Structure 1
Amino acid sequence: MVTLSVIVAMCDVRDFCRTTLKSLALNAREDFEFIVVDDASVDGTSEILREMVPGIPGAVLIRNERNMGISATRNIGLAAARGRFFTFLDGDDWYAPGYLAQLVGWMSQSGVDFLRTGHVRVYGKKRKIVMPPLAPRALPLDPLDYMGPVDASTFIDYPSVWAGIYDRERLRQAGALFFEESLRTAEDRHWFYQLHLRMRSFGVVDLHGVFYRRDVSTSLTRIPDERQLDFLPAFRLVFGELAHHPRGYELSFKAMRTLCALIVIHLDRAQDYEEVTRALLWERSAQTLFDLPQDILEGTLAGMDSVRVNKLRALMSQQMSQHQGAAAR
């Protein structure tokens, strides 16, 4: 019987994947499997994987014939998984020795649907321990109770899928197992909304055995193109999910607050994007805000600081003026 499946998405991580793979070997156990999915790498990663993966106990290698993106790549790993539990690792990150045994131990004891952990943030040679958001530790909790409050950072704002472990069958039964493949970024935000809205229990432990690199130039968080804007359709999906939930209206204010904050963050760094991406950011952000429930938007803006509110209202006003001008012509 396979207790744990680890899904490792790899794409053009030649300079880091040896460390990642060595950490899998140091965590191997006879009831663990490592599903390494190569998303059509072109930088030499594939050759390293073909060399090293066969030497790791319990590891299998799957290669996508074309680049499919992080959501589809993780889904391929999930479809192949046989473990009672599963977790993720990105191709440029790594585990501390023995971490996965500890993770499975906590999950087995807890009996919850999913478990969240901390991690270690890596900046070059610097290390910083990141604790999970505030909540009672090592106790079963209701996921709905830890989505708010609106104006604080909570578990729904901690969308790091590799900082946790999940019960595969329970997620499958709830229809929350797979990622939305149209999302090339921000797929984790939509996925965690599904978990918090559909699952019955989760837990939190202060394990910090995942090492997460923040200084990788090829990271999706640093790309300058249109993929950066997928947080907008991700939140449209979130609001669709909330619309069918008994507590959806109440929880929509948290989602709107996060969406508004993210739009401002992207506006503030728009100079780093390609020109076409900047134009699309302004247009699509405003359209998304126009399309979502206006009472929730206005209630959210009433509770935000004036700097961000002014930026959002200016964005919406500018786009409305452009639409009106175009209609007049």
Structure 2
Amino acid sequence: MVTLSVIVAMCDVRDYCRTALKSLALNAREDFEFIVVDDGSVDGTSEILREMVPRIPGAVLIRNPYNLGISATRNIGLSAARGRFFTFLDGDDWYAPGYLAQLVGWMSESGVDFLRTGHVRVYGRKRKIVMAPLAPRALPLNPVDYIGPVDASTFMDYPQSWAGIYDRERLLEADALFFDESLRTAEDRPWFYKLHLRTRSFGVVDLHGIFYRRDVSTSLTKVPDERQLDFLPAFRLIFDELDRHPRGYELSFKAMRTLCALIVIHMDRAESYDELIRGLLPERSAQTLRDLPQDVLEGTLSGMDAARVNKLRALMSRHQGAAAR
């Protein structure tokens, strides 16, 4: 019986994938499987994977014929998974030795649908422990109760799918297992809303055995092209999900607050994007805000600081005429 499936997405991570693969080997166990999915790498990653993956106990290699994106790549791994539990690893990150055994131990004892952890943020040689958001530790919790509050950092602001472990059968029963393949970035945000709205229980533990690189120039968080705008359709999916939930209206204020904050963040760093994206960002942002419930938007703006509210109102006013045409 396979207890744990680790889905490892790899795409053009030649300089980092050896560390990730070595960390899998240091965590190997007879009842663990490692599903490494090469998403059409073209930088030499594929050759390293063909060399190293067969040497790792329990590891299999799947290669996409061309780049399909992170959502489709994870879904391919999830479809191949046989484990009772599953988790993720990105190709430029790595595990501490023995971390996965600890993770499975906590999950087995908890009996919850999914478990969230902290992680270690890596900047070059610097390390910083990042705690999971505020919540009771090592206790079964109701997921829907931890979407809010609106004005605090919650699990909706901690959308790292690799910082956790999940019960595959329970997520499959809840129709919450797979990612939306239309999203090339921000895919974790609607996925976590599904988990918190559709599952019965989750837990939090202070494990910090996954190392997350923040200084990788090829990371999807740093791409300057149109993929940066996928947070907008991601939030449309979130609002669709909330519309179907009995507490959806109440919880939609948290989603709107996060969306507004993200729009301002993207606007503030727009100079680092391609010229096309600099033009599309304000137009699509304004359209998204107009298309969502206006009472929720107004209620959200009334609770935000003046600087961000002024930017958002100026954005909507500036692009209102374009929408009317």
Instruction: Confirm or deny a common fold (TM above 0.5).
Output: yes
Q: CA deviation at 1:194?
A: 0.3
CA contact (8 A) 2:287 2:323 kept: no
Q: Deviations over 1:80-131 (max 9, x none)?
A: 0000000000000000000000000000000000000000000000000000
Q: For residues 323 and 26 of structure 1, what CA distance do their matches in structure 2 show?
A: 55
What residue in structure 1 maps to residue 194 of structure 2?
Answer: 194
1:63-92 C-alpha deviation (Å, 9 max, x unpaired): 000100000000000000000000000000
Aligned to 1:31: 31
1:285-311 deviations in whole A, cap 9, x for unaligned? 000000000000000000000000000
| Residue 259 (structure 2) aligns with | 259
Structure 1 segment 284-323 matched on structure 2, within 5 A: 284-323=284-323
State the partner residue of 1:247: 247
SS in structure 2 opposite 1:115? strand
Letter of the structure 1 residue corresponding to residue 145 of structure 2: D
| Structure 1 position 126 matched with structure 2 position 154 | no
Return the letter of the residue paired with 2:136.
P
Q: For 1:55 and 1:287, how far apart are their aligned partners in 2?
A: 51
> Partner letter of residue 295 of structure 1?
D
* CA distance, structure 1, for counterparts of residue 267 and residue 81 of structure 2: 39
Query: C-alpha distance in 2, partners of 1:204/1:176?
Result: 19
Q: Which residue of 2 aligns with 1:10?
A: 10
Q: Which residue of 2 aligns with 1:110?
A: 110
Deviation at 1:323, TM superposition (A): 3.8
Secondary structure of the residue aligned to 2:97 is coil
Q: Deviations over 1:10-69 (max 9, x none)?
A: 000000000000000000000000000000100000000000000000000000001000
2:282 matched to which residue of 1? 282
Q: Deviations over 1:220-242 (max 9, x none)?
A: 00000000000000000000000
1:214 matched residue in structure 2: 214
What letter corresponds to residue 207 of structure 2 in structure 1? L
Tell me the SS of whatever aligns to 1:228: helix
Residue of structure 2 in register with 1:150 after alignment: 150
2:319 partner SS: helix
Query: Which AA in structure 2 matches 1:178?
Result: F
1:203 aligns with 2:203: yes
Pair 1:234-2:234 in alignment? yes
**Identical-pair percentage:** 84
Alpha-carbon distance in 1 for matches of 2:321, 2:291: 16
Name the residue aligned to 2:182.
182
Distance in 2 (alpha carbons) for counterparts of 1:318 and 1:159: 31
Cross-structure match for 1:40: 40
Q: If the length of structure 2 is used for normalisation, what is the TM-score?
A: 0.99
> RMSD in angstroms over aligned alpha carbons?
0.6
Question: For each residue in 1:203-255, what CA deviation from the matched residue of structure 2 results, as whole angstroms up to 9, or x when unmatched?
Answer: 00000000000000000000000000000000000000000100000000000
Instruction: Return the offset for 1:321.
Output: 2.9
Give the distance between the partners of 1:323 and 1:241, measured in 2 at CA: 26
How many Å apart are 1:8 and its aligned residue? 0.1
**Structure 1: stretches of 5+ with no match in the other structure:** none
3-state SS in 2 of match to 1:218: coil
Distance 1:57 1:81 in 2: 15
What one-letter code is carried by the residue in structure 2 that aligns with 1:273? Y
Q: Which residue of 2 aligns with 1:54?
A: 54
Partner SS, residue 140 of structure 2: coil
Matched ranges for 1:85-96 at <5 A: 85-96=85-96
Per-residue deviation, 1:156? 1.2
The 3-state SS of whatever aligns with 1:2 is coil
Contact 2:7 2:37 in 1 (8 A): yes
- Aligned-partner Cα distance in 2 for 1:275–1:312: 21
- Match of 1:27, as an amino acid? N
Runs of 4 or more, structure 1, over 4 Å off, are: none
2-side partners of 1:217 and 1:164: how far apart? 25
Q: 1:84 maps to what in 2?
A: 84
- Offset from partner CA, 1:142-161 (integer Å, 9 cap, x none): 01111111010001110000
